[in-house]
Amino acid sequence: DAGITQSPRYKITETGRQVTLMCHQTWSHSYMFWYRQDLGHGLRLIYYSAAADITDKGEVPDGYVVSRSKTENFPLTLESATRSQTSVYFCASSESRVLSSGRRNEQFFGPGTRLTVL
Amino acid sequence: GQQVMQIPQYQHVQEGEDFTTYCNSSTTLSNIQWYKQRPGGHPVFLIQLVKSGEVKKQKRLTFQFGEAKKNSSLHITATQTTDVGTYFCESGGYNKLIFGAGTRLAVHP
Query: Do the chains contact at A33 and B97, CB–CB below 8 Å?
Result: yes
Q: What is the distance between the alpha carbons of residues A68 and A84, in angstroms, rounded to a whole number?
A: 25
Which residues in chain A have their CB less than 8 angstroms from residue B100's CB?
A: 42
Which residues in chain B have their CB less than 8 angstroms from residue A110's CB?
A: 42
Q: Which residues contact A65 (CB under 8 A, 6 or more apart)?
A: A76, A77, A78, A79
Per-residue pLDDT of B32-57, as tens digits, reads 999 999 999 999 999 999 999 999 99
**Backbone phi, then psi, for B10, in 5-degree steps?**
-145, 140
Which of B33, B41, B101 is nearest residue A42 as measured by Cβ atoms? Answer: B101
Query: Do the chains contact at A102 and B6, CB–CB below 8 Å?
Result: no
Q: What is the distance between the alpha carbons of residues A56 and A53, in angstroms, rounded to a whole number?
A: 10
Per-residue pLDDT of A25-71, as tens digits, reads 999 999 999 999 998 778 999 999 999 999 999 989 999 999 999 99
If you average pLDDT over residues B94-102, what whole number do you get?
83
Chain B touched by A107 (CB under 8 Å): yes
